[in-house]
Amino acid sequence: MAAHPRCPTFTKGPLSRPLPLSRLLFLLLLLLHLEACDAAEGPAAAGEQLVTTPAAGQQQTLATTAGSQRNSTPAAAIQRPKPPQFHSPVTFGSEHDNAWAQDFGQLAKGVSLKASSCVPDNTVIHTMSNSIDWKMVELQTRRIASEECFFIRFVIITLDDQAHAACTSNPALQCSRYYKTYGRAEYLQGSYIEVVFLKLKSLLAMVQQGLTAYFFDADVVFFRVPQFPPVDTFDIILQADAYDLPCEFKKIPKTDNPPYVRPECVRPSVFNLSTNTGQIGFSSNFKRAARFLEDVIMCGVRMKARRGNQYCFKVALLRMRSVRLVHLSSRYADHRWARQYLNDTKIKFMTYHAVLGHAGRAASNKYQVLLKALARPQ
């Protein structure tokens, strides 16, 4: 770029006599030229620094403004310590996971081939327990202890050595030891999240063998052998969060024992869905069952906050809207509402689930609830 021509300097001096008009015009043009040079070159071109010093009257105003800005700093700009990042303990696809899933799937396949007069062909029921919950497992099948046709299709996943020893000591039971050991865990703490996703891994291992798979939590007691609906009537069948009981009792007499409830008698909850995976089944006709369960499990693997499997199950349902979701009837009871009907012998409960909410999940509390439920007249 061509350099600007050197701007002429002008030195003021005393005027000894009046200037002619031409001289005045020359001076005026010179002043305008000097101003144009200053504007074009700027302070940087001359190697100078531009320093602006506020007038004395402005300094107090600037100081006051700066102080008010410091005092009005938004809360979001204040640096606060971040909470520790949550790392989901759920794993999927590891060497141990795959080896156990293959072994358990083959065990379930063998169980499904055994003849049963009360469980449909190609159908297996299972639960899981550690030694802490084993007392509940002993209550679980007390009412149907004589139903050999049920136990021949029933498998228990044991979560520690004591539970496995107790399971294998009963020749009527079929047991599968998980490769990890799980003890007591509070809601959404410790190994709780791993355990609740384990039921989905076991269901996945079974559906990959082409089975109709049912899972019941250890805190579910059987009053009688469940009624298993035809596999072509559902993809997933499970317990609802809440029921509109007047609606259901109006539609179906109390003395009837249907396997599932009418959709209009189910009360939705989170995501406008009503699900409780404590009692759940997958049909062998559900061709995308493995994909669905993988989606639920991977949601657990990716979790950035403490959430249980119920949340991920609902997310998977929203992603796969074509699923034929059917709810078990209120005869597969939830303690939160069924306790008021325990003395109503007209209602033929099939199961009773000791759902106590987050504050009452201790095994000892659930055990007492199940004892009281089993005291109900048959």
Of 125-139, 201-215, 328-342, the range with the lowest mean pLDDT is: 328-342
At 66, the pLDDT band (50, 70, 90 cuts) reads very low
At 40, the pLDDT band (50, 70, 90 cuts) reads very low
- Does residue 107 have a pLDDT over 60? yes
The predicted pLDDT at position 16 comes to 46
At 257, the pLDDT band (50, 70, 90 cuts) reads low
Q: Is 96 helix (H, G, I), strand (E, B) or coil?
A: helix
At 83, the pLDDT band (50, 70, 90 cuts) reads low
CA 11 to chain CA mean position, Å: 83
- Does residue 341 have a pLDDT over 90? no
77 vs 105 pLDDT, higher one: 105
- For residue 239, the one-letter residue type is Q
| Mean pLDDT in residue range 189-200 | 91
- Does residue 363 have a pLDDT over 90? no
| Mean pLDDT in residue range 333-357 | 88
Helix (H) or strand (E) holding 322, with range, is: none
The predicted pLDDT at position 259 comes to 74
- Pairing assessment for the beta strands 351-353 and 276-282 based on DSSP bridges: unpaired
At 244, the pLDDT band (50, 70, 90 cuts) reads confident
Of 67-76, 99-108, 296-305, 358-367, the range with the lowest mean pLDDT is: 67-76
Instruction: Say how far apart CA 103 and CA 175 lie, in whole Å.
Output: 12
pLDDT tens-digit map of 222-232: 999 998 999 99
| Mean pLDDT in residue range 108-112 | 98
313 vs 187 pLDDT, higher one: 313
The predicted pLDDT at position 72 comes to 52
DSSP result, 188-244? TSTTHHHHHHHHHHHHHHHHTTT-EEEEE-TTEEESSPPP---GGG-SEEEE-SEE-
- Does residue 254 have a pLDDT over 70? no
| Mean pLDDT in residue range 249-271 | 73
At 47, the pLDDT band (50, 70, 90 cuts) reads very low
The predicted pLDDT at position 19 comes to 53
The predicted pLDDT at position 68 comes to 52
The predicted pLDDT at position 238 comes to 94
The predicted pLDDT at position 86 comes to 82
Average pLDDT over all residues of the chain: 82
Q: Which option is the CATH number for 95-374: 3.40.50.1110, 3.90.550.10, 3.40.50.300, 3.40.50.9100?
A: 3.90.550.10
pLDDT tens-digit map of 303-321: 988 888 999 999 999 999 9
- Does residue 43 have a pLDDT over 60? no
Helix (H) or strand (E) holding 332, with range, is: strand 332-334
Which value, to the nearest 10 degrees, does the dihedral of the CA atoms of residues 114, 117, 118, 123 take? 30
At 49, the pLDDT band (50, 70, 90 cuts) reads very low
**Buried (b) or exposed (e) across 219-252, using 16+ Cβ within 10 A?**
bbbbbbbbebbebeebbbbbbbbebbbebbbeeb
The domain limits of the chain are 95-374
The predicted pLDDT at position 359 comes to 52
